[in-house]
Amino acid sequence: MKTRDRILVTSLELFNLCGEPNVTTIDIANEMDISPGNLYYHFRNKDEIISELFQAFEENMLDVLQSPTDPGLDMMDYWMYVHMIFERMWDYRFLYRDPVTILERNEKLQRKFNRILDKKQDAALSIIQVMEGQSLISISREEAERLSTNIALTATYWLNFQHIRHMGSNSEPDDLEAGVYQVISHIAPYLPPEGRELLDAVADTYLGASSSGG
C-alpha cells in the first residue's frame, strides 16, 4: 500500500476515533511511523486530506442513495436501504461529529454536504410517494415534505445524538440498528395496522442481532 493511501486510511481512522479537530498532522505521522515532513510531501495541508476523504465519502454515499423507487420493494428492503446509508455515515462518522466545524472552513464541502442532504430528502420523498401511490399510506403533499425533512434530519444527526448520549461511558456504540429503526419509525404512524405489524416484525429481526458497522 502506497504511503499516500496509508495517510488517508490512517487519517480516517484517527478522525473517526478522536474527532478531526483533535487530530494533528503530527498525530497522523506518528501513528504511521513516518515523519511530518513526509506527510506534507504527499498532501499540501490537512484540508487536502479531509477533502480527499470527503470525495470518497461522497462517491460512496451518492451511490448508495440512488433512491429505490422500485414499486416491488417491501419493508425489509427499506430497512436494508436505510441501513446501508447508516453504514456509509458510520465509515466516515467524523463528518457527523461536528459538521459545522468541518464545513465552515471549506465552501466546496458545504455544497457537497448539502447536495447529499438534498439527495437524502429526495430519496425519503420518493419512497413516501411510492407508498402513497400504492395506497399503503395516505399523506398530503405538505405533510410529505415535512416528513421527509424530519427523516433526513434524524438520519443526519442520529450518530451525533448517540455520541452525546453516551459521552459518560467512554465506549461509543456501534449499533446502527437503533438509528435505522428511529428513522423508519417516522413512517410508522402513516401505515395501516398491518404495515405497522410488518415493521415491528422487521425491527424484531434486526434490533436484537447487532451486526455493527465493521
Q: Which residues sit at the interface with a copy of itself, rule CB under 8 A?
A: 19, 21-22, 97-101, 103-104, 107, 110-111, 113-114, 117, 139, 143, 146-147, 149-150, 153-154, 156-158, 160-161, 163-165, 167-168, 181-182, 185-186, 188-190
From the list a copy of itself, DNA, none, partner contacted by residue 38 (C-beta under 5 to 8 A by kind):
DNA
Closest approach, Cβ 152 to a copy of itself, in A, equals 9
DSSP-derived secondary structure for 117-150: HHHHHHHHHHHHHHHHHTTSS---HHHHHHHHHH
With contacts defined by CB under 7 A, name the span among 36-44, 59-67, 144-152, 179-187 that binds DNA: 36-44
38 scored as a contact of DNA (CB under 7 A):
yes
DSSP-derived secondary structure for 57-113: HHHHHHHHHS----TT--HHHHHHHHHHHHHHHHHTGGGGTSHHHHHTT-HHHHHHH
Cα Rg of the chain (Å, integer): 19
Which residue's CB is nearer to DNA, number 41 or number 200?
A: 41
SS3 23: coil
Closest approach, Cβ 130 to DNA, in A, equals 45
Task: Tell me the site size for DNA, rule CB under 7 A.
Answer: 19
With contacts defined by CB under 7 A, name the span among 23-31, 90-98, 109-117, 159-167 that binds DNA: 23-31
From the list a copy of itself, DNA, none, partner contacted by residue 163 (C-beta under 5 to 8 A by kind):
a copy of itself
Classify residue 204 by burial, with Cβ atoms within 10 Å: 0-12, 13-18, 19+.
Answer: exposed
Which residue's CB is nearer to a copy of itself, number 39 or number 206?
A: 206
The answer to whether the beta carbons of residues 63 and 88 sit under 8 Å apart is: no
Contacts of residue 131, defined as CB under 8 A and 6 or more positions apart, other chains included, come to 137, 187, 190
101 scored as a contact of DNA (CB under 7 A):
no
